[in-house]
Structure 1
Amino acid sequence: MGRPLRLVAPGLPHHLIQRGHNSQPVFLDDLDRERFLEDLQVAMREYRLALHAYVLMGNHIHLLLTPPDEASLSRAMQSLGRRYVGWFNHRHQRRGTLWEGRFKTSVVDTEGYFLACQRYVELNPQRAGLASDLLSYRWSSLAHHLGAHQDPLITDHPAFWLLGNTPFEREAAYRRWLEEGLDAARERFLRDTLAKGGVLGGERFVAALAQQTQRRLTPGRRGRPPKPASGA
């Protein structure tokens, strides 16, 4: 029996997670991380994907991005894999696969869920105990969204722009929302949905996406969506 086709909804944000084979590290030092980001930028431009957020962990990555068509996401990741894995293997004198099978994706509802997903991605280092504060971890898009520096990889999503009329207002509102954190139930829902590659959205969003794609999709969580950030 063949593998099910990956759900891709052009024009909507997607959360992507890819892990190292057998949970092995995919970055051994900062030079590896720098090279990965260079290759990621090439792949995003080549296939016209908008990257909204990212984090590089020791043995996995999270990306939050929007593809322009159904084929571009897979092609971009294949292109990225060819560049980075070949370079990584040559540099570290190794052979074979680096990544664990297929990457997982979740289509994300822009209303009520996008910023929660972005926050989930960018707070990974804090949850893992790798960062003492919001700006102490270099390898994510968080510094960009807090105004510490402009990241050329990032295209801010309209949901982020709704946080304020000026960059300062958006950055301050996002910082406040980050510091509030997620309650345990909502964080568990986000983690479980994204880990399974399910649709991250409310019931109406899931139903509309199922009709649009003609596919049976896992229902979204019942009840209210995660609390939106101020101004969203």
Structure 2
Amino acid sequence: MARLSRLYAPDTPQLVQVRFTRPLAPPNEATPADKLDLLAGWLRDAARENHVPVHGWMLLNDRLALLATPPDKTGLARTVQAVGRRFATRIQKGRVFSERYRSALLQPGAWVLPALIWLERLPVQLGYVDDAGRWPWSSAAQHTGLASAAARWTTEHADYWHQGNTPFERQAHYRRLLEQGLPATQARRVEEALFGQWALGDEAFLARIGRDSTRRLLPAKRGRPPRQTVVESEPRSDEPREEDASSA
């Protein structure tokens, strides 16, 4: 099966995840802070170099995930590739990503905030920490008010800004959402869209971005197309019917 081309639509947020070929450290060893610090810096620099507004990001021992609105078809790919090149020369020789990154297009106003919560809760979900805001290698500390001004480099999405009229209100409200996490059905829809590399939104959103997207937005329906029934026409009045022809 041919691999899918990159999914892109203008001015549309994307959730992205790429896994590392080998984890930065085994599960029984301490978190490799020095390596994660390097990767975080390379991600920040690569996003700036490629003019990609990043709304959220997260690093673990085995993966990188981010939420961004790329300015063009290649901005995200160039950003991930730049991180990979530095990774391969400073931390781990050879191939550093186990596969091409996976991505999903997201409908603003409906799925951007759930996707942000999903990615910033990964350290909790996978047992690294109990409080997502305390994981140093993600944007959660910025969104919950725990990060210093110097550590803030992401571009807040409008869906985050709508959580309150002041920074304090936004941070407090988002902190509650992050602590609660997503309902299981909502988290599953985010994961299915990301791992399947599809778009996530309602019919109007899909119709709007479908005109300018680089490929189809949803998986094709399984199975063969329905078989069409052939309707036989009645014989003309001047043609013999089957019983008449047999008796002739």
The bucket for the TM-score relative to the shorter chain is: 0.7 to 0.9
Q: Residues 108-123 of structure 1 correspond to what in structure 2 (within 5 A)?
A: 108-123=106-121
Q: Does 1:76 align with 2:74?
A: no
Check 1:2–1:115 CA distance in 2 against 1; reply closer, same or farther (3 A cut): same
The CA distance in 2 between the partners of 1:180 and 1:156, in whole Å, is: 21
Partner of 1:39: 42
Tell me what 1:86 maps to. Answer: 89
**Aligned residue for 2:12?**
12
SS at 2:65's partner residue?
A: strand
Are the counterparts in 2 of residues 104 and 197 from structure 1 also a CA contact under 8 Å? yes
Supply the RMSD in Å over aligned alpha carbons.
1.8
Amino acid at match of 1:121: L
Please give the per-residue CA displacement for 1:98-153, whole angstroms capped at 9, x wherever unaligned: 11121111111112110000000100111112112233321111010001113333
Aligned residues: 212
Please say if residues 26 and 98 of structure 1, whose CA atoms lie closer than 8 Å, have aligned partners that are also in contact.
Answer: no
Q: Which residue is 2:195 aligned to?
A: 195
The answer for the alignment partner of 2:64 in structure 1 is 61
Residue range with higher mean Cα deviation, 43-52 or 67-76 = 67-76
Q: CA deviation at 1:26?
A: 4.0
Equivalent-residue separation in structure 2 for 1:137 and 1:168 (angstroms)? 20
1:141-160 matches, cutoff 5 A? 141-149=139-147, 150=149, 151-160=151-160
- Any stretches of 5+ residues in structure 1 without a counterpart? 90-94, 220-232
Task: Quote the residue 2:241 is aligned against.
Answer: none
- Counterpart-to-counterpart distance in 2, 1:132 and 1:56: 16
The whole-number CA distance in structure 2 between the counterparts of 1:214 and 1:46 is 24
3-state SS in 1 of match to 2:141: helix
Larger radius of gyration: 2
1:76-108 deviation per Cα after TM superposition (whole angstroms, max 9, x unaligned) = 22222112221113xxxxx32111121111111
Q: Give the counterpart letter for 1:71 in structure 2.
A: T
Find out whether 1:139 has 2:137 as its counterpart: yes
Q: Percent identity?
A: 33
Q: Which runs of 5+ in 2 are unaligned?
A: 26-30, 220-248
> AA paired with 1:195?
F
With normalisation by structure 2, the TM-score equals 0.80
